[in-house]
Structure formats: structure tokens, C-alpha cells
A = this chain, B = another copy of it.
């Protein structure tokens, strides 16, 4: 069953990758250049705020501007000024794979919301059917130069760092399957509501593909479900259906599929009743040690990923895996 889900998702990944490879917007290249610097996106955004078309704000015009690029935006943000709550829709067909482009756009959107003091809460959800996010785009790890792999990995780190340390209340409205990086993204949030559909699954299934979740994926999972559950989940690459995920504490609440967003919105109201400063200090106190571990080992973690993923044996595994997926699809 677990394998079925992987195949399903990554067959999606492949078709999405065939698109990714063909395009590259100047905007994203500049943003990636910024990500290469230690300051992350902050540096870029403070720079860009002096130019009119990348202003640090969240508005319908942002979406319009991005549509003016050669590609459709992968992230759509609806911000309700009256409640202070932003709803972030991941809309990268078919399965919201976390490609470099996706992550770059995701981090920009997040940074903007973070800097907008009127935005206090963020709900993350998917516009794609049946899937929240299929996780890291396998094509970003296959046949790429070490430099490009490093760039990709830095973007994955950036997403995690930004989400896990967000001052906003963050709620994952998990309206579909959420393996690997999708599960990581969910775990960074303050609260997880999942659609109670037994066909959906969630978990860090990296070992099933012959790759390894890095230490900060592991730390995030230990913080969520404890040491022993993490050990068995990571060693076997387990994917859990919603009721199993609820039982081990990987998600906090199950609701019928059509109530995921309304429940997320209601839950947000409860969280926003707590004074921001007290909640933020508390959240930082809980998460800072875990965040500091990556921050102070970031370059080593990138080198570690690059040297692992570019190994002949790992590349061969990925190639065989991809070929198998192609056969399945045809």
C-alpha cells in the first residue's frame, strides 16, 4: 500500500518535471542567487523592496504580476485583512512537488507574509486533488550538477527554517496525501488537520526510495511523535493513513474532507485568541534548539546531501526507480 502511494505521487513528479526542466524565469534566478547568500531571502527582499514589481506585500497584484511571467504561479495566497489570516494554496500540478522553483516561490510568499505585521496566521493547503504535497521533486536530485543539487538543498533548508520558526500561527490543512517533504512541511506547522480519507497517507518514506531523511527532518519528527515512533517510521519509511497518523500524533485532528478548510479557519480563531508575543516567545523556546542545530550546520548539511545524492550508486537507484515509474505509467 505504501509503495502504491509513492508510485502514484512520483509518476506525478515526473510529468511535472518534464515541464520544470524547460523553463527558467529571470526572477527565480535572482532569487536563487539570493538564497545562495547566508542571509537567505531577507537580503533579497530588502533589496527588492526598492523596486516596484517585487514589493514586500501580499496582494492580488502579486498573483497577477507572477502570471505575467512565462509560468503560472505555484503558490496562491489569499489574505483576509479583517481576520489577519492568510490562506496559502499550493497549486503546482499535478502533485505540488517541491522543486527548486516551487520552493523559491514558496519562501518568497512566506517571507512576505512574515514581514506583514497585520498577518498573524497562515493556513497552508493544496489546490490539487488528492494530494497535499508529494514532497521533494526527485528530478531535482537526478542527473544534476553538484552545484545545482546544493542550490536545491539550500532551498529545502530555507523552507524548513522559515516555517518552523514562523512567528505566525501556522496550520496545515492536509487535504490529500503528504509523503516525505510534504510530511515535513506539515510537521513544521503549529497544528495539523487532515482529511479523514483512508486513501490518503502521510509520513517520511525516504528509506523506501533508498535515500535518507536528514537530521533535521528526524529532529522535527521526534519533536512531533517522539523518539521510538520516529525510529521505526524512518527506518521502515512508513506512510500512515489518517487514523494511524492521528493515533501516533503525526496529525492533531481528522475531519471529513469537505470540512478541512473550515475547521482550519475555526481552529485559527482559537489560536489567535492567545496574545501573540507570549505565544511567539513560547514557540521559539520550544523550537530554537532544533533550529539552531541546522543553522550552525547548514553548509555541512548541504555538502553531506550533495556528496550522498551524487554518488553513482544513489544515482543508479534513482534511475532504476524512474524507469520503473515510466513503465508503470505506460
Contact = CB atoms under 8 A, between A and B. Distances in A.
A278 interface: yes
B212 A281 contact: yes
A259 interface: no
Q: Say how many copies of this protein the assembly contains.
A: 3
A235 B285 CA distance: 10
A282 B236 CA distance: 10
Contacts of A282: 207, 212-213, 218, 234-235
Interface string A223-235: 1111110111011
A317 B209 CA distance: 53
Interface stretch (A111-119, A135-143, A267-275): A267-275
A306 B72 CA distance: 52
Contacts of A218: 282, 285-286
Given A227-B222, A235-B190, A207 B285 contact: no
Contacts of A271: 235-236
A271 B235 CA distance: 8
A277 interface: yes
A228 B235 contact: no
A274 B223 contact: no
B317 A235 contact: no
A215 interface: yes
A275 B223 contact: no
Interface in A173-224: 190-191, 206-213, 215, 218, 222-224
B286 A237 contact: no
A128 to B, nearest CB: 28
A271 to B, nearest CB: 7
B228 A283 contact: no
Given A215-B285, A218-B286, A286-B227, A252 B232 contact: yes
Nearest to A204: B282
A216 to B, nearest CB: 11
A279 interface: yes
Contacts of A287: 231
Contact of A223 (B208, B211, B212, B231): B231
29 contacts: A190-B235, A191-B232, A206-B278, A207-B275, A207-B279, A208-B274, A212-B278, A218-B282, A218-B285, A218-B286, A223-B227, A223-B228, A223-B231, A224-B227, A225-B228, A226-B226, A226-B227, A226-B228, A227-B286, A231-B286, A232-B252, A234-B285, A234-B286, A235-B274, A235-B279, A235-B283, A236-B270, A237-B274, A237-B278
